Amino acid sequence: MKNLFLAITVLASMTACKNDKTSTSEVVEEVKEVIADESAMEMNYPDAMSAVFNAHGGMDNWNKMNNLCFEMEGRGGVETHTTSLKDRKAKIEAKDWTIGYDGADVWLLQNQEEAYKGNARFYHNLMFYFYAMPFIVGDDGIQYEAVPPTELDGVLYPGIKISYNAGVGDSPDDEYIVYYDDATKQMTWLGYTVTYRSQEKSDKWSFIKYADWQEVNGLVLPKKLTWYNVEEGKPTTERNDMLFTKVTSTETVLAPAVFVKPAQAVVVEK
């Protein structure tokens, strides 16, 4: 769905989302791409997955949106995350550094030497993926499998396992399990594996609890994510919380200039 282009005229902001409401530097950009097969827009999800999407505002509403932005407290202070939803271009701005993805390369700009300590390529879309659940698992190239109900933190939850077709993304061997409330159908837990560094399939599961939601332009998105310690493949005690503020998601198409690599930035290799 994110690869389709509509024949529409859009208002493209020349700045990142944090300035979206007040910016006057906007340009009108005409996008005139013909959709050869309109039926290609229809995605067939398992009934359980569709019910979870609907409990969070629905895929139709999600697919109308062209950007998602939020702030969160990272290791180096407040970070502003901006993502262009259709092409997944991204920018993360912090006090001492900026990470961007322009559609081809991940780049890193450091205001002072060694300001950013992590792996910028791994991080450039990491928090977006966790935050945009469950909608992120509505992308192309995904396989769904029902898993037996699982007891997590004393409650039994039905689950849907998500895996990726070969060649999808930087880590196609990553796996997710969306656990949802059987009554409300809202997502409650995310189980996930990480294969980016090793490039090998992993059986080590991590867990995030999604228990605090907010409505953003018709979408039900998290206010807080809670990571848990894990023993014998199950979450046990809370490890840390992450709060998300100034969340926006709109139909405004952000201009490519938002994500262009600055001259002083360096390309981060795989």
Domain ranges of the chain: 8-268
Task: State the burial class of residue 71 (Cβ atoms within 10 Å of its Cβ: 0-12, 13-18, 19+).
Answer: middle
Q: Which of 123-127, 165-169, 225-229 is predicted least confidently? A: 165-169
Dist CA 38 CA 113 (whole Å): 50
Q: Are 116 and 77 in contact (CB under 8 A)?
A: no
Question: Which tens digits make up the pLDDT trace of 70-115?
Answer: 999 998 899 999 999 999 999 999 999 999 999 999 999 999 888 9
pLDDT value of residue 5: 37
Question: Which tens digits make up the pLDDT trace of 185-208?
Answer: 999 999 999 775 545 566 789 999
Closest CA relative to residue 87, chosen from 139, 135, 43, 165: 139
Query: Could you tell me the pLDDT band of residue 56, with boundaries at 50, 70 and 90?
Result: very high
Distances (CA, A) of 43 to 33, 104, 139, 165: 20, 26, 9, 16
CATH number of the structural domain 8-268: 2.50.20
Q: Which pTM was predicted?
A: 0.84
Question: Which tens digits make up the pLDDT trace of 114-129?
Answer: 899 899 999 999 999 9
**3-state class (DSSP) for residue 136:** helix
With vertex at residue 89, the alpha carbon angle to CA 87 and CA 93, rounded to the nearest 5 degrees, is: 160
Average pLDDT over residues 22-32: 39
